[in-house]
A and B are shown apart, each in its own frame.
Chain A
């Protein structure tokens, strides 16, 4: 095929470029703008260079919530991915039960974040919540508002309840896409159930798992509403994750400069980690 160089073709890209500019680049540039200046009012501004960046990178409050954030996301992935795969494997493949399972699984996904937070906030209360009351009645001392471990467990269980369905549904669709002949060949080869999972199902699930891992990482790393409603970040700062710290900084204290600098760092961390996941999971495809 002959390729004809034609620079007019760039005009065809222009609409997309304009759209992306308005939806992503321009809003982000305002943040960049704030992150390198100290702005008091529209006519009073000072260029501060990388000062805000230096300041937030040395802020122990942010270090703490960044660490908490990584631990939280790691827990979320470590629980939800295997659990989601397990649920998908246990689901019926066809018939009425399959439809019922799909509907039940989809329900948590349809509930708004703050409602989920409220549900668990009430559910876990020791005086009127079914979970909290039952646990305490059974002799387990449980209070998510005062005990750090209880608060963490509740936030994690809530996230698992809310989002494992997503992983399970993705895996379910991935499993349904595996042709029967693979299972038939495995039976002929006398493969054990474990071998079928390890050598057929897991490799074939790889692309959906990649999506699941990335989505769950990004979402859990950006989590805000649910812990905010449930624990308000407490007890103390025990469940104050990054976005909550950031919100306090930007909206509570109106420190727009440091908040803008931190937003960009936050964004870059998510980008970097997502890229690492992607590269790690697709790396093998290129090697022979």
Chain B
């Protein structure tokens, strides 16, 4: 059990990286606190697995340090770091039975056989592997194998942390939910630090207390699912979290406001005060489809828009409309009728965010 701190950590698979593009992980500082359940969320190829392998010690970072409880562990092997890791695709020891597979890490630690048996049965019960304990691992189905893989990670309760690298990819959807609950239970029961890599936002938010969103080798935001939803600090977070993602439209400055086409959008004072400093940056206005107000009748401050099409998703509707040449989406409750042709929208001020070069412009900078 440990707090994991990353200091100025960077990694490149090239021997002599020249520019930022050569880095799989770009200089980052980050802290995973002891006992937390974290998700590392990001698209494929953003460096999630690299980061995980650096934490576990399978990969040596090119730059920076990894600290466990303040102690640098860069030179320690995975064994010495005492880390458990579950990989994306099941790894089982074919010739062993399921029992022996689960017992393997414990026996390697030299635990007495009686304790090994107890731990293995405990984990087998949690993962519903009891009926399979005496079966040879090679004859299992893919999701059974993956449960065995996970079991081997969970069976040691003295570990510094357990790292999961998209462990549920090969698992049936109905089992996924169940296993995620199980992981959560195990987390609460044993007070372990868990880091869960995924590219699925739902998986991340059901598992983790805090999510780190990774993009192009950097953690662009670290926060609760709610923070990620309400105040994305990077346009990528806005776009990646939520379905559909945040509406983003390019704007330009106009005094203490910004201009979207011919429309002048007023900004709150503290944000407007920062505008002069942002001259030269690429400015974008962002608002989540959930927060767009859309009505059929004109109203004060409402802008007329052209309704393009609507998708009915059963529990809500997604409506696309055009405003000043840019296409936006709005999420409407199921009972609200879809306006024909023309509608009127307002962007409520608290949910209308301004981004400069993809980063959120915040009041107190």
List A residues at the B interface (Cβ < 8 Å): 181-182, 184-185, 187-192, 195, 199-200, 203-204, 284-285, 287-288
CA distance A190 to B76 in the complex (A): 13
22 A–B pairs (Cβ distance < 8 Å), ordered by A: A181-B91, A184-B53, A184-B58, A184-B85, A185-B152, A187-B78, A188-B58, A188-B84, A188-B105, A189-B108, A189-B152, A190-B108, A195-B108, A199-B94, A199-B96, A200-B93, A203-B93, A203-B95, A284-B95, A288-B135, A288-B136, A288-B139
CA distance A195 to B96 in the complex (A): 12
Contacts of B77 in A (CB 8 A): 187
CA distance A203 to B92 in the complex (A): 11
Q: Is the CB of A190 within 8 A of B58?
A: no
CA distance A191 to B149 in the complex (A): 15
In the complex, what's the smallest C-beta–C-beta distance from B204 to chain A, in angstroms? 22
Assuming A182-B91, A288-B139, is B85 touching A188 (CB within 8 A)? yes
Q: Using an 8 Å CB-CB cutoff, how does the interface string of B305-340 with A read, 1 for contact, 0 for none? A: 000000000000000000000000000000000000
Choice from B58, B135, B139, B149 contacting A187 with Cβ under 8 Å: B58
Contacts of B109 in A (CB 8 A): 190
Complex: chain B residue closest to A181, CB-CB: B87
The 7 closest A-B pairs by CB, nearest first: A185-B91, A190-B108, A189-B105, A199-B93, A190-B79, A203-B94, A203-B95
Q: Using an 8 Å CB-CB cutoff, how does the interface string of B85-102 with A read, 1 for contact, 0 for none? A: 101010101111000000
In the complex, what's the smallest C-beta–C-beta distance from B86 to chain A, in angstroms? 9
CA distance A203 to B85 in the complex (A): 23
In the complex, what's the smallest C-beta–C-beta distance from A192 to chain B, in angstroms? 7
Per DSSP, are chain A's interface residues mostly helix, strand or loop, or mixed?
Answer: helix
Contacts of B25 in A (CB 8 A): none
Determine whether B65 belongs to the interface, using a CB cutoff of 8 Å to chain A.
Answer: no
Complex: chain B residue closest to A180, CB-CB: B58
CA distance A288 to B134 in the complex (A): 9
CA distance A174 to B76 in the complex (A): 30
In the complex, what's the smallest C-beta–C-beta distance from B264 to chain A, in angstroms? 56
CA distance A185 to B79 in the complex (A): 11
List B residues at the A interface (Cβ < 8 Å): 53, 56, 58, 77-79, 83-85, 87, 89, 91, 93-96, 104-105, 108-109, 135-136, 138-139, 149, 152-153
CA distance A11 to B116 in the complex (A): 62
In the complex, what's the smallest C-beta–C-beta distance from A137 to chain B, in angstroms? 50
Contacts of A191 in B (CB 8 A): 104, 108
Contacts of A182 in B (CB 8 A): 91
Q: Is the CB of B104 within 8 A of A189?
A: yes
In the complex, what's the smallest C-beta–C-beta distance from A187 to chain B, in angstroms? 5
Contacts of A190 in B (CB 8 A): 79, 105, 108-109
Choice from A184, A199, A285 contacting B87 with Cβ under 8 Å: A184
In the complex, what's the smallest C-beta–C-beta distance from B162 to chain A, in angstroms? 10
Contacts of B83 in A (CB 8 A): 188
In the complex, what's the smallest C-beta–C-beta distance from A75 to chain B, in angstroms? 28
Q: Is the CB of B108 within 8 A of A192?
A: yes
CA distance A284 to B78 in the complex (A): 33
Complex: chain A residue closest to B152, CB-CB: A189
Contacts of A195 in B (CB 8 A): 104, 108
Chain B CB within 10 Å, residue with most, of A181, A189, A200, A284: A189
In the complex, what's the smallest C-beta–C-beta distance from B69 to chain A, in angstroms? 20
Complex: chain A residue closest to B165, CB-CB: A181
Chain B CB within 10 Å, residue with most, of A192, A199, A200, A288: A199
Contacts of B79 in A (CB 8 A): 187-188, 190
In the complex, what's the smallest C-beta–C-beta distance from A36 to chain B, in angstroms? 48
Q: Is the CB of A181 within 8 A of B108?
A: no
Contacts of A199 in B (CB 8 A): 93-96, 104
CA distance A190 to B108 in the complex (A): 6
Contacts of B84 in A (CB 8 A): 188
CA distance A265 to B136 in the complex (A): 39
CA distance A190 to B56 in the complex (A): 13
Supply 15 further A-B pairs (C-beta < 8 A) apart from A185-B91, A199-B96. A184-B53, A184-B85, A185-B85, A185-B87, A187-B78, A188-B105, A188-B153, A189-B152, A191-B108, A199-B94, A199-B104, A200-B93, A284-B95, A288-B135, A288-B139
Q: Is the CB of B56 within 8 A of A188?
A: yes
CA distance A195 to B79 in the complex (A): 14
Contacts of B108 in A (CB 8 A): 189-192, 195
Complex: chain A residue closest to B155, CB-CB: A189
Complex: chain A residue closest to B139, CB-CB: A288
Complex: chain A residue closest to B87, CB-CB: A181
Contacts of A181 in B (CB 8 A): 87, 89, 91
In the complex, what's the smallest C-beta–C-beta distance from B142 to chain A, in angstroms? 14
CA distance A185 to B86 in the complex (A): 8
Chain A CB within 10 Å, residue with most, of B83, B84, B91, B152: B91
CA distance A195 to B91 in the complex (A): 15
CA distance A189 to B53 in the complex (A): 14
Complex: chain A residue closest to B89, CB-CB: A181
Q: Is the CB of B93 within 8 A of A188?
A: no
CA distance A215 to B89 in the complex (A): 34
Q: Is the CB of A287 within 8 A of B87?
A: no
CA distance A192 to B105 in the complex (A): 11
Contacts of A287 in B (CB 8 A): 136
Complex: chain A residue closest to B95, CB-CB: A203
Complex: chain A residue closest to B100, CB-CB: A199
CA distance A191 to B108 in the complex (A): 6
Contacts of B85 in A (CB 8 A): 184-185, 188
Complex: chain B residue closest to A202, CB-CB: B95
Contacts of A284 in B (CB 8 A): 95, 136
Complex: chain A residue closest to B58, CB-CB: A184
Contacts of B153 in A (CB 8 A): 188
Chain B CB within 10 Å, residue with most, of A184, A188, A191, A288: A188
CA distance A83 to B105 in the complex (A): 30
CA distance A245 to B152 in the complex (A): 58
